[in-house]
Chains A and B, each alone.
Chain A
Amino acid sequence: MSPAIVKVEKLSKTFGNLKAVDNVSFEIKEGEIFGLLGPNGAGKTTTINMLTTLLKPTSGDAKVCGFNILKQANEVRRNVGVVPQEYTADEDMTGKNNILLCADLYGIPRSDSKPHAEELLKLVELQDAANKKVSTYSGGMRRRLELACGLINYPRLLFLDEPTLGLDVQTRTAVWKYIKTLKEEYRMTLLMTTHYLEEADSLCDRIAIIDHGHIIKIGSPEELKESVGGDVIVVVIKELEPDISSDIAQIKLVKDVKKNNNTYRIKAELGEEASPQITDLIRSKGLHVTRVSLTKPTLDEAYLEFTGRNLREEEVDKLQMFRQRVTMRRARS
């Protein structure tokens, strides 16, 4: 097992009467993509803000890259990169100058930050727009610029807060590609928040589902899906009789069988392995399979199972909502 790069212990943050984050503990292993998944106002951004030293926790403690977030805040800041939810780049400056400004704030000498900025602009495919003012950038270009800014200090750990909020499909795919590159080629650890389930599913090694400030469940996307029930295999057989439900149920991986006319609806673990066993069994009984389909449970189902189906109408932080609206609006420009 790789060592933990983030260790969170009983972290809490209270705003007035609202417990935004309530006694949260988790660990992130070096080299993994860890996702915080949850509805608006669940406490994702508050958690990130505490880990990036923007907010002081009400109670609890955390170590990031081996440094205490309270006592060694500046060391934490030097070792992590932050890509916030909103577009923070200065519109009156060029993309490249924005990256150099970030570098200056980290105390990176220009002799290093200049060539590094060029490399990062190439990584996020902005080299042609490097010397244009950010006010001329599209939403997707701004998001990519934010990503480059977050990487200027050679972080070991990168925080991404809603990295694809409001982006079009092309940009979203590109951002996903960069995230994978960072993990695979740069060996970086990433912590991202999202409320897009397919994003969490395709990118994250492990996901923590968070709601009302609590972590409800932590696991790999597969584990989370499995925990709400297995795969569903539907088999249609040419012959109506005989009923072979009890025979199918004998197969080890099968959990449940329901027959409706000539259609069997089978719940099973590891559907890919179970379905050939099922078809073999049917053939051995001298019957003919006309159709087989396999449905994997989606993360959506797991998510709704854990967070409930009620619509959210909670009051959230005014400033945060304002920023989110601005982000969405700019993303579409």
Chain B
Amino acid sequence: MDKTESKKEMPLEGLTVQEKHTEVSAGKDRTLRTPPKLNRSPLHGLWALTNRDLRKWYTNPVQLIVSLIQPIVWLALFGKALNFGSFISGSGASPAQQNAILQSFFGTTSYFSFLACGMLAFIVLFTSAFSGMSVVFDRRFGFLNKALSTPVARGSIVMGKILQSVGRSLVQAAIILVIAVLLGMDTTHFTVPGIAGTFVVIFLMGMGLSALFTMLALRSADWQTQMAIINLINLPLLFASNALFPTKIMPTWLQDVVKVNPVTYANDATRQLLIGATGMNNLLVDFAILIGFAAILSAVGIVLSWKLLSK
């Protein structure tokens, strides 16, 4: 039916339309009818999305400085004030005995160095926690809908949020490490592979944690709720870990909780890598758990993005 109809009209209508077309395309800069070859790889746009969020941060030094002040305050005030060394030196024990006691609790003789490693986890945890907030704002102000109306992979939208948060974590952790050294962190055990390994740990932990927080924000357009969720999860993750205190001094029920907290394994690994502390687990075990944590949560995040981003 359709074909015969259009054939009838062809000689008359077809010509005039074509004439108009050529006339138009000759006069204008470029018509919208010559699209280029598109990059159809499922990863296209991932870097553009990641960089969009990263740029907000690195072009705004106020944000960078503010996000560094909190762990510095913790390092300087908490780390220096809570001097376990002076507790023990008042007990009348010999320096060798004091060191033995510290070593048995913290795996090292310097609590400050112990805490400095914990602060690396702290900054990653708090940076990751806010990775979900930008999803909320993108949804609220429509950018998310804009991205969803393009052929960019839904998973890339989530991975972009995760990777930008990991990028921030890496840079901030590097700065914290430098400041910790300046404030007196024990550097005698620093090695190049040790430092490199530390950043791998930070990468994995950042990936897993930001996947978790991004996931929780996928459906939300309400930033107050998101803030409440962040606080609800963040502090327990910090306190129910070995970031501030060694597991040994905790009650056994808390120790069980600490052992399922991935932050614990990150701390355990960085302490072994950076300050040569006696760890709870073999380094390989720590890494295996962190890799599993990052991979599983990112995968779940991508799968959820297919289901939750569009209603």
Contacts and interface: CB of A to CB of B under 8 A. Distances in A.
Contacts of B139: 319
B310 A77 contact: no
A109 B221 CA distance: 32
A18 to B, nearest CB: 13
B114 to A, nearest CB: 39
Nearest to B148: A54
Interface residues of A, number: 47
A154 B151 contact: no
Given A92-B59, A104-B48, A112 B148 contact: no
B56 A92 contact: yes
B209 to A, nearest CB: 25
Nearest to A159: B149
Nearest to B24: A185
B140 interface: yes
A92 B54 CA distance: 11
A34 interface: no
B52 A108 contact: no
Interface string A207-251: 000000000000000000000000000000000000000000000
Chain A interface, DSSP helix/strand/loop, else mixed: loop
Contacts, number: 119
Nearest to B37: A109
A86 B142 contact: yes
A78 interface: yes
- Residue of B40, B56, B149 with most chain A CB atoms under a 10 A cut-off: B149
A43 to B, nearest CB: 15
A56 interface: yes
A153 interface: yes
Given A88-B146, A92-B56, A319 B32 contact: no
A326 B141 contact: yes
B143 interface: yes
Interface string A127-164: 00000000000000000000001010111000000000
Given A84-B146, A106-B150, A322 B311 contact: no
Nearest to A52: B149
Contacts of A326: 141
A102 B35 contact: no
B31 A186 contact: yes
B37 A84 contact: no
Contacts of B34: 154
B123 to A, nearest CB: 23
Interface in B36-77: 36-41, 44-45, 47-49, 52, 55-56, 59-60
Contacts of B19: none
Contacts of B311: 55-56
A84 B142 contact: yes
A55 B34 CA distance: 29
A93 interface: yes
A187 interface: yes
Contact of B145 (A54, A149, A188): A54
Contacts of B151: 74, 77-78, 105-107
Contact of B41 (A90, A107, A188): A107
26 contacts: A77-B151, A84-B142, A87-B142, A90-B52, A93-B52, A101-B48, A102-B146, A104-B48, A105-B44, A105-B45, A105-B147, A106-B38, A106-B150, A107-B41, A107-B45, A109-B37, A109-B39, A111-B36, A122-B29, A153-B150, A154-B32, A185-B24, A187-B33, A188-B32, A319-B139, A323-B140
Given A3-B6, A112-B36, 13 more contacts: A53-B149, A54-B310, A56-B310, A82-B149, A86-B141, A88-B145, A93-B52, A104-B48, A105-B151, A107-B38, A109-B37, A119-B29, A154-B35
